[in-house]
Structure 1
Amino acid sequence: MKLSSEIKTYIDRSVLCWLATASEDNIPNVSPKEIFNYYGNDEIIIANIASPNTVRNIKKNTNVCISFIDILIQKGYQIHGKAMIIEKEDSLFLERAEVLSKMTKGLFPFETITTIKIITSKPIIAPKYILYPETTETEQINSAKKTYGF
């Protein structure tokens, strides 16, 4: 499945994503990730900065779920996919690392990258948009700013 321009837009707007993995014993783990982006039209990439459980789980069970939202608009995406760990020695590492290294500005070294091929995606929408369909994104932004003290 390809990354739509809307999914890419929400990746660009999101400051964190949450990556859910499961161990080979099906014990869930959800971990926030700050350095993530898309690569091409069909991959999401994540720098593994301090992620030993994530890396271990993906090496045993490649099924993952990643979620990200624009915190002010309170919309985003949930994506299910197949993940793979790319090691520094792998020929796929260098180009993907270049994208992620620009984001870290060299301050957060990483030895591996998680790459996710998308299987399914669905929008995440704050309940207010559903319960009150007349809600505009501007109203939601103003409400979030007030709630979070921006």
Structure 2
Amino acid sequence: MTVIDQDMRDIIERAMLAFAATVCEDGSPNLSPKGSVRVYDDEHLAFMDIASPTTIANLRRDPRIEITAVDFFSRRGYRFKGHTRFAPPGTPEYEWLNSWLLEVNGPGYPANEVVVVEVERVLPVLSPAYTWGGAEQDALTESWEQRYRTTIAARKLGDPA
């Protein structure tokens, strides 16, 4: 059964940063940025435990997770809900993700274990600009790319805006 389609794959690739939500022991939420979220196959996401002691402790106690990936330029993305398991060094999931991590970041990154997420439900994330503003994706993407370029250029010139 295919849960993760090509558009979802593309969003995760473009987002480059996703956010993982877990539940702390006291019931409070824990939201953690993850730069290593990748699509493993049609039903699983994976990310590396690089520096995530709270996330990992929460998942060992309660394997439920939600990962949200949003393409900030197109203002849309997905929420992936599911359950996790761990893949230590030597497993296919670990070797696959660690190879990518080394390729992207070079040696020296702490790669403790892989968190494999069995995706059970996917929900879209869509800016109100689409539903109430009648925006079209290409125009919205161009507009937000320009906003980011302007902000970056202003910061380079010393303007804190």
Instruction: Give the TM-score of the pair, scaled to structure 2.
Output: 0.83
Trace 1:27-38 onto structure 2 (pairs within 5 A): 27-38=28-39
Change (3 A) 1:97 1:76: same
> What is the aligned residue count?
149
Query: Which moves more between the two structures, 37-46 or 1-10?
Result: 1-10
- Partner of residue 60, structure 1: 61
What is the Cα deviation at residue 90 of structure 1? 4.8
Deviation at 1:92, TM superposition (A): 4.5
Q: 1:147 maps to what in 2?
A: 147
Tell me by how many angstroms 1:30 deviates.
0.2
Q: Is the counterpart of residue 109 in structure 1 residue 117 in structure 2? A: no
Aligned to 1:46: 47
Q: Is the 8 A contact 1:86 1:112 kept in 2?
A: yes
User: Is the contact made by 2:83 and 2:119 (CA closer than 8 Å) also made in structure 1?
Assistant: yes
Matches within 5 A, 1:102-141: 102-133=103-134, 135-141=135-141
Flag the structure with higher helix content: 2
Residues 131, 43 of structure 1: alpha-carbon distance in 2 compared, 3 angstrom cutoff: same
- Measure the CA separation in 2 of the matches of 1:23 and 1:65: 13
- In structure 1, stretches of 5+ residues that fail to align are none
Instruction: Give the structure-1-normalised TM-score.
Output: 0.88
Equivalent pair of 1:24/1:57 in contact (CA under 8 Å): yes
Identity rate of aligned residues, in percent? 21
Q: Which has the higher contact order (CA 8 A, sep 6+)?
A: 1
1:39 alignment partner AA: Y
Distance (whole Å) between structure 1 residues aligned to residue 64 and residue 80 of structure 2:
11
**RMSD between aligned residues:** 1.9
Q: What is the Cα deviation at residue 50 of structure 1?
A: 0.9
User: Of the two, which has the highest radius of gyration?
Assistant: 2
- Secondary structure of 2:39's counterpart equals strand
| 1:67-116 deviation per Cα after TM superposition (whole angstroms, max 9, x unaligned) | 00111111110110001222225565323433443333335221111110
Q: Is the 8 A contact 1:46 1:114 kept in 2?
A: yes
CA distance in 2 between partners of 1:52 and 1:3 (Å): 27
